[in-house]
């Protein structure tokens, strides 16, 4: 996809109830998505790209000619690229619970004509996948060549393989885990408290034009630290003190402090705090063994080939957590491949250094397509 190509976010509303893992019903619900390439007549050349926590469906191209940046995975999606749109129909959909076009806590509840806010039901990663299955059926997709995504996107990829084994022909999880660790939950707990303690949060009843900006910026900063690594922070900031401040100024900042403040404050206008909280809860609740007797039983339903990646400096979802899932799959005789990628960029490595893992992805997709005649 050339950088001059313009793409459009599309929306589909389903006038039906989606039964969630909690037992509650959500409906009607809207899914926002973008698609690149052309779906073949058999409907079987589709690749689903799944996004991370605060991501969206704008994975490639530009919405307007003057957009400063293209979609978040533009370097992977397009003609002749890793996810080759001259060959595959690539689709990325926004998850429910988000604020980027799909139904979430900031959406209008059709029953009350007011925003859901905290009346929105809790959603799990599994619910996100079930919602997206409605979309793929609507689009005429009969099966997926693969599902590929990092972090929360990796969780979705695994769920696709387990929940829809006949529909999903392979999965590629990056920087993923079989279940969220206590440390990751603890970090999200601190982020939550930062928002809760902001007096403008008002138990979720803030006005969009007056969000709990201070608490939200701090929550984002906490999350952002977990996406980085000690190596990347040392390279980028070291112990440099801000040139704007004096060392003996009590409120003077190191460059890393100033960066976190800048990143957090820039995030506030781009995302809804309640959506941030709901998606954080979905991450915390994630356990591939949910509603199964064990992780092993859950993974026994994953029949398709899977290609897994972990990154050496990722301390949010450590390589050992990926390897736990890979080892189980190997032990129960599932077709699984795994690569540990050497990178200093922490959890964000799959976004920052894709060239380190994409050759394996190309080979894997060639093998899948060749075996299945796509």
In eight-state DSSP terms, residue 170 is -
Measuring CA to CA, which residue among 117, 98, 101 is closest to residue 109? Answer: 117
Report CA 255 to chain centroid distance, whole Å: 28
Q: Are 48 and 91 in contact, with CB atoms under 8 Å apart?
A: yes
Q: Give the contacts of 357 (CB within 8 A, at least 6 positions apart).
A: 174, 309, 339, 341, 350
Q: H or E element: which one contains 235?
A: helix 230-236
Phi, psi of 264, deg, nearest 5: -65, -45
Q: Dihedral of CA 28/273/9/86: which sign? A: negative
Question: Catalytic residue positions?
Answer: 151, 314, 347
List Cα–Cα distances, 78 to 7, 44, 56, 71, 228, in angstroms.
12, 18, 18, 11, 28
Three-class DSSP category at 215:
helix
Rounded distance between C-alpha atoms, residue 286 and residue 177, angstroms: 9
Tokens of 104: 């979430």
Question: Using omega within 30 degrees of 0 as the cis cutoff, is the peptide bond preceding 266 cis?
Answer: no
């Amino acid at each position: 996809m050339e950088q001059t190509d313009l793409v459009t976010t599309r929306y589909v509303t389903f006038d039906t109830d989606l039964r969630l893992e909690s037992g509650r019903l959500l409906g009607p619900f809207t899914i926002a998505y973008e698609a690149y390439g052309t779906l073949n007549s058999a409907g079987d050349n589709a690749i689903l790209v799944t996004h991370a926590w605060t991501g969206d469906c704008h994975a490639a191209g530009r919405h307007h000619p003057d957009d400063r940046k293209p979609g978040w995975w533009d370097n992977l999606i397009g003609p002749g690229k890793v996810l080759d749109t001259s060959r595959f129909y690539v689709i990325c959909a926004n998850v429910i619970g988000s604020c980027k076009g799909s139904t979430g806590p900031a959406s209008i509840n059709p029953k009350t004509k007011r925003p859901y806010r905290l009346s929105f039901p809790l959603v799990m990663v599994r619910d996100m996948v079930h919602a997206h299955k409605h979309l793929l059926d609507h689009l005429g997709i009969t099966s997926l060549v693969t599902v590929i995504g990092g972090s929360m996107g990796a969780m979705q990829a695994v769920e696709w393989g387990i929940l829809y084994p006949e529909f999903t022909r392979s999965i590629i999880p990056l920087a993923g885990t079989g279940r969220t660790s206590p440390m990751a939950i603890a970090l999200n707990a601190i982020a939550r408290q930062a928002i809760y303690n902001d007096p403008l949060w008002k138990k979720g009843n803030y006005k969009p034009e007056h969000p709990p900006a201070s608490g939200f910026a701090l929550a984002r900063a906490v999350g952002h630290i977990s996406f980085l690594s000690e190596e990347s922070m040392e390279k980028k900031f070291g112990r440099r003190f801000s040139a704007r401040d004096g060392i003996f100024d009590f409120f003077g900042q190191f460059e890393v402090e100033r960066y976190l403040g800048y990143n957090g404050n820039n995030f506030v206008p781009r995302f809804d705090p309640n959506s941030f909280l709901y998606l954080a809860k979905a991450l915390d609740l994630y356990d591939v063994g949910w509603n199964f007797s064990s992780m092993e039983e859950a993974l026994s339903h994953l029949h398709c080939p899977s290609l897994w990646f972990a990154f050496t400096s990722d301390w949010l979802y450590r390589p050992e957590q990926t390897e736990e899932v890979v080892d189980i799959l190997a032990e129960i005789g599932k077709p699984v491949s795994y690569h540990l990628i050497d990178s200093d960029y922490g959890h964000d490595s799959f976004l920052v250094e894709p060239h380190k893992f994409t050759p394996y992805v190309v080979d894997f997709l060639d093998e899948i397509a060749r075996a299945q005649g796509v």
